[in-house]
Structure 1
Amino acid sequence: MIRPIRRCLFLLACFALDLGGFTPATAQIGGQQAFSFLNLPTSAKLAGLGGINVSSRDADGTMLYGNPALLNADMDGRLALGYVDYLADIKQSTAAYVFNTVKAGRFGVGLTYLNYGDFKQYDPAGNPLGQFSVNEYALSIANAHTSGAFTLAATLKLAGSGIAGNHSFAALADVGGLFKHPEQDFTVGLVVRNAGIQLKPYDGASREPMPLDVEIGTSFKPEHLPFRFSFSAHHLQQLDIVYLDPNQRGQLNENGEEIKPKKSLGDKIARHFVIGGELLLSKNLNLRLGYNHLQRRELRLDNTAGGAGFSFGVMLRVSQFQLDYTHAGYHASGGANYFTIARNLDSLFKKPQ
């Protein structure tokens, strides 16, 4: 009985939140947009850096989901496969492949599929009607062009969502830019994500807005320190992303009067930021950690937050394979496990000299 309840809660969370949060205590900033699953991190690296990152540039092709301008030569010919084990039976699968062309620039192709499992269906009288499934998916095609220290890129996405045979579709785009210092390990990224339109709403429903998000961030590694810092800001198009539930009961003061929670300037600012870091132990071993303040505030319960908002991960290269793992806290009752494996296919199929 516990697993279906947790799965239903997570399903409601993904529909209600831009960042996938759920809490009965403080409500959320979302609930007014469709296809919010597009803001969920799809890979172990993204999740390990706090769920949002637009500036960490390396050979990980799955970073095109964070910012298409992160496409670079180190990704060419690499295929990355990702898998996310959420609460209960909710699973997400992701694939990304990057290749370069002579005249048309660098391309990245991605596919992500999120399955919420099967649910029991009943009529208004409570009679069982069998089971139904819920799933969402998106096909992405990104193109990037680099000139000197600057890269400009865009991603076109076709997204679909299905609930018990009722389907909705949307067309969206990401537009991003990246500055990479020619000599130092220093990058600055900017991206506008999920700008688009709902092509077909659910039957009987009106068109809803897409989960638009404007993000900016920087990553840098001090010269003599084996650590790369990342700072990202999100939802820049909306200054106040704090939601206070008007039905939530506040604490009582010494006179027995209810004190309603109030918004503070510090909390308004902090909810826009995500902090991540990578400990570069060697070329083949990195450790990652991240903190997302909005997730922690949105996912906490009245009396505890658990590990909500924190993420921890590791990257290991073995032979020609790159293996990534991250555990991200999403609720006091549990979290999600992210797995990504990548390999260069060009070297795999290249004929020996």
Structure 2
Amino acid sequence: MGMGKKLFKLIVLLALVAIAGRWLLQWEIRNSVDASIASMRDTVSIRYDRLNVGFDGKVTVKRVQLSLPNSDMFSAHIQQIEVDMQSLPELVQRRFGGSAPEALSVKVTGINANLENFAESVESTVDCLDPLKQPSPWMLGFQEDSDLNFSYVYNTPTRDLTLDIDVIARGAYELKTQVRFGGVAPNLKAASTLDLVRINFDDIRLMQAWTSYCSARHEKSPEQLVAGYMANLEALLNKQSLGLSDASQTALSSYMQEPGRIVLRWILNIDLQELPSSEEISEMLFNRVEVEVAGTPVSPIFKEVEYKPAAPRPQIQPKAVAKAPALVEVDFEQLQDYLDKEVQLVTGDKITTGVVRKVSGAEVELEVIKDGVNHFSITFYRSRIDQILVNP
């Protein structure tokens, strides 16, 4: 009986030590996180509800809020960030020993960004036919939360480090990227070679939404959109003395009409200690890339072409138009007199034109029309408005 009591006391003591150690570790990590957040307060404001360290070696941060100081252009909410170091002893050893773990996994779940004001400022620059001015997923109607998974594994015998980064835009696409380094030091602070880059892109509904959005925006059929995009992509490549091979053109055109999975694989073996020239790296990227579209290999991908700049377009003198009457400035209290009338609101270096739909207290709601067909409402706070301009 006495031995049983001693064993029970020992178990209780060990449990208390483990709980106290976990609590102290949690307190120490929280202080480090809070110090890092404080150092970034001039760039980004970060708040979180709770930080917890589990006995399984996972550090979990719940309900993270991000915003820009003194600006309403951007804000984001993250449901949870989970950092997994495999076990609590491993976490303790690496945290206080100052060395990187040989395996690490970070899962960021439920990312939701509020980009309404930002969207208004950049949507006018979107051109679906220009490869460099494509609409973002949130412009295509994908407002679901997104997930980000980051992990790496260090193989001690071979000294290889494999890094995986997955982006999941729910209902839109899944993007999986894998990078492998060779000759990696045990402290993970240096690598000798960049061996492989692999990208898997699975289209769930992104291309379908792109076609629907762009058809309405440009008043073109899907076939016209594909033809215009392909022509502009070819012109962009031609500036680099490159062009798409017949196989590439067929595969890309087919994908844009019936999307599936795209797989890109580069076998590089770049020596990071003696980096090759930019020309050599460019040659590696183009000559060592392997592409599959919907399970079908595409080869060759590029061809060399002679770049011939297009002749400059003749300048057309605009017709003289009658000057519009100058706008006049009014006070916020006078906005009640302009209900259902068009006004301009100046906020910083930005001017927003819209119809006043509602004025209450310190807020005004404008109805803004984009491209003559898209209607949406924006609420402005009085404190953010620098000028209010109206027609006399």
Common topology (TM > 0.5): no
**Structure of greater Rg:** 2
Give the number of the structure with larger relative contact order, counting CA–CA contacts within 8 Å between residues 6 or more apart: 1
Q: TM-score, normalised by structure 2?
A: 0.26
Higher strand share: 1
Higher helix share: 2
Q: TM-score, normalised by structure 1?
A: 0.28
